[in-house]
Amino acid sequence: MDLQQLRYVIAVAEEASFTRAAARCFVAQSGLSHRVKSLEDELGVALFSRTSRRVELTASGEAFLISARASLNAADRAAADAVAAAGQIRGRLRVGVIPTVTAVDVSTALKAFRQEHQHVQIALQVAGSDELETAIERGDMDVGMLGLPEGREPRGVAWRDLGSDRLVAVVNCDHRLAQVRETTLSEIARETFADFPAGTPARAESDLAFAAAGVHREVAFESMAIGLTIDLIRQNLAIALLPSRYAPHNPSLARLSIADGPSRVEYLAWSNFNPSPAAQAFLSIINDGDSL
């Protein structure tokens, strides 16, 4: 068993396809399939169930994948530590951000990081705060930008408060409330809303506020794709509550302050358990960059 075989198994598991896994690993599909089958023969178990249309992990494959990821991460970390000891940072930096991050200009931070550490491979992921929190805690993510309701601090990770922001109501310019400068939760509760999926921290910001105000609202559209949510508003199909620093300034949209509206707090989160040299370097750039 070698590291390349582990990379191939992980790629097939994540892509659910030998074809896509081979393309991702820049290898011929036949070669990748042969190496995976060779590993299965060596282990004496099938890691994948295969049909002409589907590829799924078996129970043995699920168990193997956990250790395979840990082993590969350990090997990558060993190589990164070795070159860091010689004064050069290599390896991989895994950064996760919420869809509506505003407290940090992520692209500017990455530019500064890349200028100093050109040999680091950077993996970016956009996800909800709860997913990023979990990924950091289990070692699958190095650094995350989270957004949580007031009073709900990050769990299982090291963190720094990056500041809070009030949510505003965003409506179509033809909406009946478009000319109103300020409203309340009870006044907009009867509108049709677009929001993040139920159960996510981004959704909780609004749900908790409406519950505290003692009013019920209808969320007709749920999506993690904030661009799609804004398109729904442009079509006058719904309104949404968005952080004021993120809500777009657009002639087709109007922004309303909410007198009793919720706030969200953004956090920089990372693992305190032996952070990689790349993660430490990126955190330093974020912490030192007042204008990021």
In this structure, how many other beta carbons lie within 10 angstroms of the beta carbon of residue 260? 13
Q: Cβ distance 166 to 259 under 8 Å?
A: no
**Which residue type occupies 227?**
G
Task: Determine whether domain 3-84 maps to CATH 1.10.10.10.
Answer: yes
Confidence (pLDDT) at 199:
93
Describe the crossing of helices 3-15 and 59-85 by its angle, rounded to 10 degrees.
120
Residues 6+ apart with CB under 8 A from 56: 16, 48, 49
Three-class DSSP category at 188: helix
Give the pLDDT confidence of 83-103 residue by residue, as tens digits. Answer: 565 566 878 899 999 999 999
Quick one: how far is CA 85 from the chain centroid?
31
In this structure, how many other beta carbons lie within 10 angstroms of the beta carbon of residue 4? 13
Q: What gap in Å lies between CA 227 and CA 254, rounded to an integer?
A: 16
Strand (E) positions, 4-68?
48-50, 55-57
Q: Cβ distance 145 to 103 under 8 Å?
A: yes
Residues 6+ apart with CB under 8 A from 87: none
DSSP calls for 67-89: HHHHHHHHHHHHHHHHHHHTT--
Q: Cβ distance 182 to 256 under 8 Å?
A: yes
Q: What is the DSSP letter of 270?
A: E
pLDDT tens digits in sequence order for the chain, 292 residues long: 788 899 899 999 989 999 999 998 889 999 999 999 999 999 999 999 988 788 999 999 999 998 888 888 777 777 667 656 556 687 889 999 999 999 999 999 999 999 999 989 899 999 999 999 999 998 889 999 999 999 899 999 999 999 999 999 999 999 999 999 999 999 999 999 999 999 999 999 999 999 999 999 999 999 999 999 999 999 999 999 999 999 999 999 999 999 999 999 999 999 988 788 899 999 999 988 654 5
Confidence (pLDDT) at 71:
84
Confidence (pLDDT) at 2:
83
Q: What is the DSSP letter of 189?
A: T
Q: What gap in Å lies between CA 263 and CA 254, rounded to an integer?
A: 19
Confidence (pLDDT) at 148:
95
- Choose which CATH entry (3.30.930.10, 3.40.190.290, 3.90.226.10, 1.10.600.10) describes domain 163-265: 3.40.190.290
Give the pLDDT confidence of 127-159 residue by residue, as tens digits. Answer: 999 999 999 998 889 999 999 999 899 999 999
Domains 3-84 and 163-265 share a fold: no
pLDDT cut 70: percent of the chain above it: 95
Q: Cβ distance 204 to 132 under 8 Å?
A: no
What ranges do the domains of the chain cover?
A: 3-84, 163-265
